Structure 1
């Protein structure tokens, strides 16, 4: 066989192997870079650093989660400034990456945040922008951990009976929404992330964010007029407006 022909055959045979190797290396490198960005997200939350969060998120990113009726949709620019205080006892907060999937310049990461009062599952959409991976969208779900529910002596109540508590409440300039979600109540500041209330008897509920706290609805003339929420050393007294 002519030497030149032999060389061309060998190059043709080896080229696909080299290309596949380069692609595998690029995939592995991108996955590591995506994981590093997600870890920056964790670090920024735990240390209370909007600057660190800005290293993980695109400035035009949005965070979307469940609310009352319509989803809660918050821009990164609105959310990040509120994350400016470090978490106390950070060892109690477990943040982990469940999986990462990368295709070209797009990626998805699923994270699980096991926190003392709440369990979050995030789905993070990432894009490689100007050579750098950034989170461009976050969708989250939250639930009450089983360990918290075990501390609450729940008294069964059906959704129909819960309807009387649903409405809009006000404390100062803050507006709070209460709604029925199955056999529990949802509670959130207008436009904010919800927590849940579990019935413990009569007009009294235990909030998931502090199972030792108590929220008691007040009524007059068979109508709920407001509630008092006590947890830790705090007391919140509201009036119903709707």
Structure 2
């Protein structure tokens, strides 16, 4: 057998696109379609991200007791995070542990972009702690809080062309707190936004694989999450619960 990296990468994308397409065709209920799409993207990240990262649907909480909205995909640290809450089948993740959040939908359009921006902003506005880091020779300064990656993952686009001026216009509405940094439209390509704008649109044939690689590269650049102030969360132990 002759191995081919081109074939491996192509088949990875084809598998994701085919599964997203089957979910769209097979399920009639919009909620069921959404759950199936979310599951496909989560399995991709759970399978191929390095083990120090995890991906799951979740809420995010901060040490002031504020919660985000529910997120389809949260990429978070599990190597240095001291706790992840599991309550009645729902995950709640401390804000300091989050690297990125994504919404997973069937198709991208202006309404879905606005919806995803609202979800992303609900995480970025949360308070995050960062403590000095002790080491053998002393103490490192607290790590500056890193930008949380936000994005939108879909199979198709309601625009024609799929990645064009209509998408650019939707992505550039808003500000830094609700910006979508990275996204994938599996049938068309990936998009990327930064402080310079949202002019980078990449129409490519293996979009799901390209998105995975770009996300991993961005996670590598972020290194580790800040050192969480566990005592800031522990103070809630003294608060009386309502009867």
TM range (shorter): under 0.3
TM-score, normalising length from structure 1? Answer: 0.24
Q: TM-score, normalised by structure 2?
A: 0.24
Higher strand share: 1
Bigger relative contact order (CA 8 A; separation at least 6) = 2
- Larger helix fraction of residues: 2
